[in-house]
Amino acid sequence: MKMETKEILTQVEQTWTLYRLENDQGMSVNFLNYGGIITDISVPDNDGQIENVVLRFKNYEDYISNPVFFGALVGRVAGRIKEASFYLNGQTYQLGKNERSHHLHGGQEGFHSRVWNVTPYENEQEIGAKLSLSSPAGDGGYPGNVEVEVTYILTNDNRFIIDYKAETDEVTPLTLTNHAYFNLSGGAKRTIDNHVCLIDSTKIAELDEELIPTGEWLDVNNTPFDFQNKKELKNVFTNETTQQKVASGGMDHYFKFNGEKESAIHLEDPESGRTLDVTTDQPGVVIYTSNSLPEGIKLLEGEARRHVGICLETQSSPASLHEKGFPDVLLSPENPYHKRTVFSFGKRR
């Protein structure tokens, strides 16, 4: 196993560091200290060809605005907070609005736009890096001083692990995730339409026209959102339903896990043979199928297009700040935050 670093000088006179983790099987993970942004995960296909399976910008400078959160660590709160406000312990907190009247993924200056401290490490079983960040009280409008540590870990059996920890001195909302867009075809040469997916979930959060949960749970059985058994993603793209239309022709929904299957999520690309299994101790996941990427975004592999990637945003639900019956996002001094998501890459047998 090995680690390499490279300095990236941006046009706005910021210098970032690009880290590359590589295991003994040839799998590698590249990420920036800026935003903890994952720019490359390269894994072999059935023929042993190693290619990148996440979307990345052609130009590093585009990560400064990064309106679609490519590859970024997202916080303090992943997801949408209705009307950019919440009520806690007798006080209303007002947050920055960055999607209509709502607060999305920590706001304009969330964790995705910070330079993280990075400490690399290596042992016999794995290679990795600890990314740390201090978020002071009032940051983005949130209460409490928060210390965050996220560890990226690459193992020799082609598992990429993201371990999240956080502590606070005051009760505050927090749920962290990574916003990588996966495309197992390699080099985004095809859309994800023919990717086969399984999600261990029978319930999704109903969304209104602005993608805010209504407070109701919908049963996925016998709907296009039913991925309890393996099926192609295009099934949800081509079957028009109210919820599919709300999400601009795909998924942008919170799925609550059943906890019944070995993997919370399974994804595979039949043509390349690459597979991805996701296990996590998070209660659910937002599945976003890049239904509305802005036109003209320049990827390393060409211009972005609809359904070119899928985000697997394991997390709790910020809807819990306004609605009952949703996984809680409140962090307290007595109960530090510790969550882990494992991405296991393999090949179809």
Q: List, by residue number, the catalytic residues.
A: 179, 313
Neighbours of 296 (CB within 10 A): 7
User: Residue 27 is which amino acid?
Assistant: M
Q: What is the spatial distance between Cα 122 and Cα 116, in angstroms, rounded to a whole number?
A: 19
Q: What is the spatial distance between Cα 185 and Cα 216, in angstroms, rounded to a whole number?
A: 35
**Nearest alpha-carbon partner for 249 in 233, 263, 261:** 233
Return phi, psi of residue 237, to 5°.
Answer: -75, -35
pLDDT on residue 11: 75
Place of tokens 């985000």: 311
- Is the Cα dihedral 150, 145, 330, 143 positive or negative? negative
Q: What is the spatial distance between Cα 63 and Cα 321, in angstroms, rounded to a whole number?
A: 29
User: Residue 82 is which amino acid?
Assistant: K
Q: What is the dotted CATH code of the domain comprising 2-347?
A: 2.70.98.10
Domain ranges of the chain: 2-347
pLDDT on residue 235: 96
Contact 176, 293 (CB under 8 A): no
Neighbours of 163 (CB within 10 A): 16
List the beta bridge partners of residue 74.
177
Q: Which residues of the chain have a pLDDT value below 70? A: 349
pLDDT on residue 95: 98
Helix (H, G, I), strand (E, B) or coil at 319: helix
Q: What is the spatial distance between Cα 213 and Cα 135, in angstroms, rounded to a whole number?
A: 27
Q: What is the spatial distance between Cα 46 and Cα 267, in angstroms, rounded to a whole number?
A: 15
Contact 168, 333 (CB under 8 A): yes
Q: What is the spatial distance between Cα 198 and Cα 85, in angstroms, rounded to a whole number?
A: 34
Query: How many angstroms separate the Cα of 115 from the Cα of each of 68, 119, 311, 313?
Result: 18, 13, 23, 21
Give 92-97 contacts, CB < 8 A, sequence gap 24+: 93/141, 93/142, 93/143, 94/141, 95/140, 95/141, 95/142, 96/140, 96/141
User: Residue 138 is which amino acid?
Assistant: G
**pTM reported for the whole predicted model:** 0.97
pLDDT on residue 112: 98
Q: What is the pLDDT of residues 276-330, one digit of tens each?
A: 999 999 999 999 999 988 878 899 988 899 999 999 999 999 999 999 999 999 9
